[in-house]
Amino acid sequence: MNSIRFRIAGLLVVSVLILNMLAVALILAIIEPRLTAATMTPVANQLALLAEAAERDPASIALLGAVVEDQPLDGPEDDLAAGMLRDILAERGIERDLRVFFRPGVVGATALVGLQGGRWLSVVIPDLSPQSSGFDALLIWLIVLTTGTGIVSFYAAWRVTVPLQLLHDTMLTFGTDGVPAPLPEAGPIEVKQTAMAINRLSARLRKSIASRMRVVAAAGHDLRTPLTRLRLRAEFIRDEAEREKWLADLAELEGIANSAIRLVREETGGEEPATFRLDDHLRVIVRDLRSAGHSVSLDIRSPVTVRAGPIALRRALSNLIVNAATHGGGAEVSLTLQDGTAAVDIVDNGPGIPEALLEQVFEPFFSADPARRRTVPGAGLGLSIAQSILERSGGTVSIQNRPNGGLRQHVELKAIVAEAPLN
């Protein structure tokens, strides 16, 4: 899995297994031969002494638990053990033919040592062959080791990555004000320090946003008084054409100031949410816009009930529809219900927006015209206000260019009550 937690745990498990395998290899390469030699040497010495005794006094061998055979035995041989015993005897300067057999019904192995005259000394010795259960024991040990190491490693990886998980969870708690919710400053020191740092950052961010909003609201509010004075003075201009120009410019400035104040209100908190029929809401909005002279069509394919601020949502949808009607030569509005989500599509046949500028359309005072020439009156805050309202209501809004020209504004809101589709 592509997760740092699994990577850390996997690295720890693999490291422990490699170290243990190296330790096993070291034991097999260095320690086991020494243990085997220590086990084999007494047996080899015993066989050498018995062979000498058998050649001196064959009758006494029976008292020592050995037997002199005329022919070698038949049966499976242990060439490894026989070779090791011959090597030990050869190191002492004793050259004898030596074989190791396994006989049915005999516990252990039977060693045959060649005597003078072609006879064989038969002696029962311990089974020196590797135990078949050794590999099984090693396998079980590795399974237990891997399981235990895996549990410990995953726990250690989880503890190490808790601050990262905390950061991830924090990113999911961002409210509509753009600031994450406060985190509990508890737990291990690393987690506590991370939570404290995030809370300090959130406090500074919240303070900065509040300060910015106060400045914008104060500026918009304070502009009203001089604008009122200018409007009164403009009324006394004798030249009617010049007077109309002044009044139009002042109306635009007043619209910008009012839009700025509305934007601040939506950013800092709106009305209490209520449950209402979105399709009825759209009918009222479209009716009012038609009365104001806008070209708007409405297609309601399914009635939907949503929960949001009614006045704020009306303002948001009105801004989007007016944007399409004024800049796109008319707006076509449709409402559908898709998997518990109310989808409002607003399309127009205007010139669209360059793809490079689509990501900026919701910024305050955005203009698709680089020279910022406004052919249609407006403050440039309508889309920003609409986005703020919809996000505060738990919805989303996006804008795309249509393949055949024009824009498509797509709004999604969670449906509270889905009713039967209209016939």
- Domain segments of the chain: what residues? 4-133, 169-269, 274-418
* pLDDT of amino acid 388: 80
* pLDDT of amino acid 77: 73
Q: CA 391: distance to chain centroid?
A: 24
* pLDDT of amino acid 373: 42
pLDDT tens-place string over residues 205-216: 777 777 776 776
Structure confidence at residue 372 as a pLDDT band (50, 70, 90): very low
**What angle (nearest 5°) sits at the alpha carbon of residue 207, between those of residues 205 and 211?**
115
* pLDDT of amino acid 362: 82
pTM confidence score: 0.49
* pLDDT of amino acid 353: 87
β-sheet bridge partners, residue 146:
none
Is the pLDDT at 396 greater than 70? The verdict is yes
Structure confidence at residue 418 as a pLDDT band (50, 70, 90): very low
Query: Quick one: three-class SS letters along the chain?
Result: CCCHHHHHHHHHHHHHHHHHHHHHHHHHHHHHHHHHHHHHHHHHHHHHHHHHHHHHCHHHHHHHCCEEECCCCCCCECHHHHHHHHHHHHHCCCCCCEEEECCCCCCCEEEEEECCCCCEEEEEECCCCCCCHHHHHHHHHHHHHHHHHHHHHHHHHHHHCHHHHHHHHHHCCECCCCCECCCCCCCCHHHHHHHHHHHHHHHHHHHHHHHHHHHHHHHHHHHHHHHHHHHHHHCCCCCHHHHHHHHHHHHHHHHHHHHHHHHHHHHHCCCCCEEEEHHHHHHHHHHHHHHCCCCEEEEECCCEEEEECHHHHHHHHHHHHHHHHHHCCCEEEEEEEECCEEEEEEECCCCCCCHHHHHHCCCCCCCCCCCCCCCCCCCCCHHHHHHHHHHHCCCEEEEEECCCCCEEEEEEEEEEEECCCCC
* pLDDT of amino acid 347: 93
Is the pLDDT at 297 greater than 90? The verdict is yes
HSE of 384, CA atoms in CB hemisphere, 13 A: 20
Task: Name the average pLDDT for the chain.
Answer: 77
Angle (deg, nearest 10), helices 189-234 and 162-171: 20
pLDDT tens-place string over residues 251-270: 777 777 776 666 666 555 55
Structure confidence at residue 197 as a pLDDT band (50, 70, 90): confident
In sequence order, what are the residues at sequence separation of 6 or more whose Cβ sits closer than 8 angstroms to the Cβ of residue 400?
A: 358, 407, 408, 410
Structure confidence at residue 319 as a pLDDT band (50, 70, 90): confident
Structure confidence at residue 224 as a pLDDT band (50, 70, 90): confident
Phi-psi domain of 339 (left: phi exceeds 0; alpha: psi -120 through 50; beta: other): left
pLDDT tens-place string over residues 118-155: 788 888 887 655 554 456 776 787 788 778 888 888 88
Worst-scoring range by mean pLDDT, 14-28, 286-300, 305-319? 14-28
Worst-scoring range by mean pLDDT, 28-42, 186-200, 378-392? 28-42
pLDDT tens-place string over residues 334-367: 999 988 899 999 999 888 888 888 888 888 767 6
> Exposed/middle/buried for 239, CB within 10 Å: 0-12, 13-18, 19+?
exposed
Structure confidence at residue 161 as a pLDDT band (50, 70, 90): confident
Is the pLDDT at 420 greater than 50? The verdict is no
User: CA-based Rg of the chain, rounded to a whole angstrom?
Assistant: 46
Percentage of the chain beyond pLDDT 90 is: 12
Average pLDDT for 165-194: 70
Is the pLDDT at 226 greater than 90? The verdict is no
CB 85, CB 75: distance < 8 Å:
no
CB 115, CB 121: distance < 8 Å:
yes
Tell me the C-alpha distance between 264 and 178, whole Å. Answer: 13
Is the pLDDT at 369 greater than 70? The verdict is no
Q: Of the segments 57-66, 214-223, 280-289, which one has the largest average pLDDT value?
A: 280-289
Is the pLDDT at 65 greater than 90? The verdict is no
Average pLDDT for 62-84: 74
Tell me the C-alpha distance between 112 and 68, whole Å. Answer: 9
What are the structure tokens assigned to 82, written together?
A: 């026989």
Considering the domain 169-269, what is its CATH architecture? Orthogonal Bundle (1.10)
* pLDDT of amino acid 351: 85
CATH number of 274-418: 3.30.565.10
* pLDDT of amino acid 421: 47
